[in-house]
Amino acid sequence: MTQRNVLEAINNALDEEMSRDPNVMVLGLDVGKLGGVFRATSGLLEKHGAQRVVDTPLAEASIIGASLGLAISGMVPVAEIQFLGFTAQAFHQIGPQLARYRTRSRGRFHCQVTIRAPFGGGISSPEFHSDAVEAQFVQSPGIKVVMPSNPYDAKGLLIEAIRDPDPVLYCEPDRIYRLARMEVPDGAYTIPFGKAAVIREGADVTLVAWSAAVELCLLAAGRLADDGISVTVVDLRTLVPFDVETVVSAVARTGRCVVVHEAPLSGGFGAEIAATLASEAFYDLDAPIARVAAYDVPYPAAPLEAWYLPSVERVVAAARKTARQ
């Protein structure tokens, strides 16, 4: 019985995969001696050496571009972009290059590359450090988008990502890195992509979320239970692939749905979920689908983020309103 938090689970997954496969390597800013700004790669340099744990120059595009080339050479790179918001400095190497290389080469080459990127608000970080831009990558077919919400999933999904022959963007919820420990076994295990988890079952409203917003939904579910509203919580785990079946069947049982995400409302992945439910679960719906998201404004300075981000109160309010309709 080993208890780990999200950060320790990620560190453990990296260590185990590097121990299993000598071609797995980690590269990025400050991943070596410092062990990453959050210490996710702590101890890896000492154990696996400077050839496989590499502090790169401060240039995100070359971190991703070089990872593509490393993968073609036979290495298995796990690249860290220090914060997801800084993928803007590398976007042209992710969507148009990494994601498309299998297609462009008509299957001759593929890119077994994992990009790890912490993100999310609520930790009073500077500009660009909190932006939830995951939906931008959903529009780049060829890359998978993975959003773990707890320590157990963090390890299993990361090992799955490293072993996946295709590129994976693995977004880490930095706000809950150290929030709580749970049992995360030693030894490798994987969680398949495209399988959402129903982590709480109730009869009245289905809450759909991913990453740190799942924790918000669980807190809201507790409060709603006090009001006599019983809630199902679906943790999507991956946006690409998107597990339509689990979401549709959960919503079919409750007839009501609230989607919760930290990304801005318009064009967020919640819109995709709502549109999918409207076409696949229309006759099971007893109320309009609600969305609780960040507002359509640039991520604000730290003193304002509590008003910008979805809160337990907003989730509770949306679920109550949906339940009354």
Partner 1 sequence: MKAMTARQSILKPDGRLLNGAKSSMTDAALMEAVRWMLMSRIYDERATALQRQGLYGVFSPAAGQEASVVGSAMALDPARDWIVPQYRELIALVRHGYPLERLAAMGMGRITHATRIPEGVNVLPTQVALAAQLPHAVGLAWGLKLQKKDSVVMAYVGDGGSSEGDFHEALNLAGVRQAPVVFVLQNNQWAISTPRRMQSATSSFALRAAGYVTYRMSFHNTTDNPSLYEDPKQRDEASRRDPIDRVIKHLTRRGLWNDERDEQTRMSIRAEIDAALDKAASFPAVTPGQLFDDIYAELPERLRRQREELLGEGSKE
Q: Active-site residues: which are they? A: 129
Residue 172 is which amino acid?
E
Distance CA 123, CA 64 (A): 26
- Of 28, 32, 36, 65, the one binding partner 1 (CB under 8 A) is 65
**What is the per-residue DSSP string for 252-314?**
HHHS-EEEEEEEESTTSHHHHHHHHHHHHSGGG-SS--EEEEE-SSPPPPGGGHHHHS--HHH
Q: Which residue, 3 or 105, has its beta carbon nearer to partner 1?
A: 105
Kindly state whether residue 75 participates in binding partner 1, applying the rule CB under 8 A.
Answer: yes
Distance CA 9, CA 323 (A): 37
Q: Which residue, 7 or 239, has its beta carbon nearer to partner 1?
A: 239
- Of 36, 85, 142, 173, the one binding partner 1 (CB under 8 A) is 142
Q: Check if the beta carbon of residue 317 is closer than 8 Å to that of residue 207.
A: no
Query: Pseudo-torsion of CA 198, 200, 201, 202, nearest 10°?
Result: -130
Stretch of 137-145, 221-229, 262-270, 287-295 contacting partner 1, by CB under 8 A:
137-145
Binding mask 17-46 for partner 1 (x = CB under 8 A): ------x-x---------------------
Smallest distance, partner 1 to C-beta of residue 142, A: 6
Distance CA 72, CA 131 (A): 31
- Of 37, 62, 252, 312, the one binding partner 1 (CB under 8 A) is 62
Q: Which residue, 75 or 213, has its beta carbon nearer to partner 1?
A: 75
- Of 57, 187, 228, 303, the one binding partner 1 (CB under 8 A) is 57
Residue 41 is which amino acid?
T
Kindly state whether residue 321 participates in binding partner 1, applying the rule CB under 8 A.
Answer: no
- Joined together, the tokens standing for residue 233 give 């919580």
Query: What b/e string do you get for 214-225 counting C-beta neighbours within 10 Å, with b at 16 or more?
Result: bbbbbebbebbe
Distance CA 196, CA 189 (A): 17
Binding mask 233-272 for partner 1 (x = CB under 8 A): -------xxx-xx---------------------------
Kindly state whether residue 278 participates in binding partner 1, applying the rule CB under 8 A.
Answer: no
In the complex, which residues of this chain contact partner 1 (CB under 8 A)? 23, 25, 51, 54, 56-57, 59, 61-62, 64-75, 77, 92-93, 96-97, 101-110, 141-142, 144, 164-166, 194, 240-242, 244-245
